A and B are shown apart, each in its own frame.
Chain A
Amino acid sequence: MVIYGTALLALCHLLGIFLGDLLGTLLGARTNVGGVGIAMLLLIAARLWLHKRGWMPQPTEMGVAFWGAMYIPVVVAMAAQQNVVTALRGGPIALLAAVGSVFVCGCCIALINRGEKPATVPHHAATAV
Chain B
Amino acid sequence: MIELLEKTFQHNGLVLAFTLVGLVMWVAMQLSQRLTMGRVHGSAIAILIGLGLAYWGGLETGGTKGLADVKLFAGVGLMGGAMLRDFAIVATAFEVQVVEARKAGMVGVVALLLGTFLPFIVGACVAYAFGYRDAVSITTIGAGAVTYIVGPVTGAAIGASSDVMALSIAAGLIKAIVVMVGTPAAAGFLRLRTPRSAMVFGGLAGTVSGVSAGLAATDRKLVPYGALVATFHTGLGCLLGPSLLYFATRALVE
Q: Does A119 contact B (CB under 8 A)?
A: no
Q: Which of A10, A40, A99, A128 contacts B178 (CB 8 A)?
A: A99
**Which of B's residues lie within 8 Å of A, judged by CB?**
17-18, 21-22, 24-25, 43, 46-51, 53-55, 57-59, 64-68, 73, 76-77, 79-81, 84-98, 100-101, 107, 110-111, 114-115, 118-119, 122-123, 125-127, 130, 141-142, 144-146, 149, 153, 157, 166-180, 182, 186, 189-197, 200-201, 204-206, 208-209, 212-213, 216, 219-224, 227-229, 231-232, 234-236, 238-239
Nearest-neighbour CB distance to chain B for A80, whole angstroms, equals 4
Q: Indicate if the CB atoms of A80 and B193 lie closer than 8 Å.
A: no
Q: How far is the CA of A98 from the CA of B120 in the complex (A)?
A: 10
**Which of A's residues lie within 8 Å of B, judged by CB?**
9-10, 12-13, 16-17, 20, 23-24, 27-37, 39-41, 43-44, 47-48, 61, 64-68, 70-102, 104-106, 108-110, 112-114, 116, 120-121, 124-125, 127-129
Q: Which of A43, A73, A83 contacts B64 (CB 8 A)?
A: A83
Q: Indicate if the CB atoms of A31 and B170 lie closer than 8 Å.
A: no
- Between A74, A96, A125, the greatest number of chain B beta carbons within 10 A of the residue's beta carbon is seen for A74
Q: Indicate if the CB atoms of A110 and B189 lie closer than 8 Å.
A: yes
Q: How far is the CA of A92 from the CA of B177 in the complex (A)?
A: 16
Q: Indicate if the CB atoms of B216 and A37 lie closer than 8 Å.
A: no
Q: How far is the CA of A105 from the CA of B179 in the complex (A)?
A: 11
Instruction: Determine the residue in chain B with the shortest Cβ distance to A71.
Output: B88
Instruction: A29-B239, A101-B118, A101-B145 are known; give 16 further A-B pairs, CB within 8 A.
Output: A29-B235, A40-B96, A67-B87, A75-B85, A78-B81, A80-B68, A81-B76, A82-B173, A85-B55, A87-B174, A93-B127, A97-B119, A97-B144, A101-B175, A112-B107, A125-B194
Q: Indicate if the CB atoms of A104 and B118 lie closer than 8 Å.
A: yes
Q: How far is the CA of A91 from the CA of B169 in the complex (A)?
A: 12
Q: Indicate if the CB atoms of A94 and B170 lie closer than 8 Å.
A: yes
**Known contacts A34-B232, A68-B95; is-contact A16 B119 (Cβ 8 Å):** no
Q: Indicate if the CB atoms of B216 and A72 lie closer than 8 Å.
A: yes
Residues of B contacting A66 in the complex (Cβ-Cβ under 8 angstroms): 91
Q: How far is the CA of A84 from the CA of B148 in the complex (A)?
A: 12
Q: Indicate if the CB atoms of A86 and B58 lie closer than 8 Å.
A: yes
A–B pairs, 26, beta carbons within 8 Å: A23-B235, A33-B238, A36-B90, A36-B227, A40-B224, A40-B228, A41-B93, A41-B228, A43-B90, A65-B91, A76-B21, A76-B47, A79-B48, A83-B65, A83-B169, A86-B166, A87-B177, A90-B170, A90-B174, A92-B130, A93-B141, A108-B118, A109-B200, A124-B194, A124-B195, A128-B222
